[in-house]
Amino acid sequence: MSSIRLKNLGYGPTEGWTSSAIQGFIVTDAATIGGDMMGQTATQMGISYDDAVKEFIAYLREYRSFSPLTVRAYGVDMRMLRQFLEERLGRVPCPNEITREMIVQFGVSLKGAAPLTLRRKYACISSFFGFLQDMGYATSNPARRLPLPKVSQPVPVCLTEEMAQALIAAADKPWYKALIVLLLSTGIRRGEAVAITLDDLDLDNCQVLIRGKGGKQRVVPLTEQAVEAIQAYLPHRTKTRDRHLFVSAYGGHPIQGRVVNAMLATTIRKAGLEGQGITPHKLRHTFATHLIRNGVDVRTVQELLGHADIQTTARYLHSDTRTKQAAVGKLNGLLGGSSEAAAEPIASGDVSEDVLPAAGERIAAP
C-alpha cells in the first residue's frame, strides 16, 4: 500500500508535531484512487469539508497550542459555516468549492452579530483556508481581505482606588482576598489566575510564572500585599494532591472561571458596588490604567499584561483622563493663569465620566 505524504509546513516530528498529528496529514490507500491519479495533489483530489475541519482543529490544538476555549470557538464557527452552506446548496461542499461570495453571504446571514463577532468568524475562516493552502489542499484563500464591519474602540474603564480598596475589604474568605488582590496587582487574566500552580509561585522573590495565550509564558512581579494575601490563604487551602493554587473546598479540584465570577459577584454585593459593571477583566483594566497613570511606560505595561500587540496596550493611554488633564493644565501659565494649581491631580473622588465603569459592561476579549 502506498501513501502520499503532504507537506507539513516544513516542521518534522521533532519540531512540534505529535505522531497522531502527523498521521492526520497523510493520505493512505492512494493505490485505490487509481494509478492515473498517483501524481496528483491533494487539491486536485479534494478533501471533504468535515475532514478538513477535523485536521484544522487538530492543527490548532496540537501544533499551534491554542487554548481549549479558542479551539472550541473555532470549531463552532466552522460548524456554523457548514450549516449555512448545507442549507443554501442542499449539500456540504468541499472546501475548494467554497467561494468568496459564499463567505460574504454567510456573514450577511448573521443578522444582529456584533462587528467584533463577525470579524472573528471571518478571521477563523481565513485561518482555515490558509491552513489548507499550507497543507496543499487549496490553492487560494477566498476569505482573504473580506470587507470588514467597522468596530468602535471603547476606552477601557477601571475602578477608582476607593472602589478597589472597598472590594478587597469585603473579601471575607482567605481565597477571595488572595484572588482579588492577585488580579488587581498583576493584571493577569481570569484564566491565567486559575491556571497558576504552587510550582509557579516564588514568594521569596515576589514573582509568579504566568502561562498566557498560545502557551506563552511570562514572569510577573508580586506586590507585598499579594504575597501576604497568598501566604494567608495557603494554610486554608484544601489538602489535595492537585498542584493548582486555587482549588475547590470540596474535592480539591482546580476552580473554574465561573467560580471566580460567582466569588467576585458575592464580594461586590458585600462591598456595595453592585451596578458598576465590575468583572475580572475590569480588574485587569484597573491594573493597566493605574500603571499608566503613575508614569509606567507602555512597553512595560504590555509585557506585564502579556499583550502580543502594543496597540492593544495603547488603549490605556487614552483612558488616563487624570494625567491628560494635569498635563494640559500646565498650559495655564502660558495663558496667564496659575500653572501650579492647574497641574494638581484630580482628587480621587472626582473621577471623570470616562473612567467610571459602565453598568452591565461586557467582558472584553482578553
List the catalytic residue out of 189, 237, 282, 315.
189
Cα–Cα dist 82/56, whole Å: 14
Classify the C-alpha dihedral 108-114-118-124 as positive or negative: negative
Grid cell of 139 as nine digits = 490553492
Question: CA–CA distance from 3 to each of 8, 12, 31, 176 (Å)?
Answer: 15, 17, 8, 57
Cα–Cα dist 127/322, whole Å: 41
- What letter does residue 219 receive in the DSSP assignment? E
Residue 36's SS3 state is helix
State yes or no: is 244 an active-site residue: no
DSSP-derived secondary structure for 290-345: HHHHTT--HHHHHHHHT-SSHHHHHHHHHH-HHHHHHHHHGGGGTTTS-HHHHTSP
Cα–Cα dist 222/31, whole Å: 61
Phi, psi of 207 (to 5 degrees): -155, 160
Contact criterion met (CB below 8 Å) for 315 and 156? yes
Cα–Cα dist 287/180, whole Å: 12
State yes or no: is 307 an active-site residue: yes
Grid cell of 21 as nine digits = 498529528
Q: What CA dihedral angle connects 239, 244, 245 and 251, to 10 degrees?
A: -40
Q: Where are the alpha helices (DSSP H) in the chain?
A: 19-24, 42-45, 49-58, 68-89, 100-109, 115-135, 161-170, 174-186, 190-194, 224-233, 257-271, 280-293, 298-305, 310-319, 321-329, 339-342
State yes or no: is 122 an active-site residue: no
List the catalytic residue out of 177, 190, 281, 290.
281
List the catalytic residue out of 100, 119, 120, 213.
213
State yes or no: is 213 an active-site residue: yes
Q: How would you classify the pairing of strands 217-221 and 26-27?
A: unpaired
Phi, psi of 221 (to 5 degrees): -65, 150
Query: Which residues are marked as active site?
Result: 189, 213, 281, 284, 307, 316
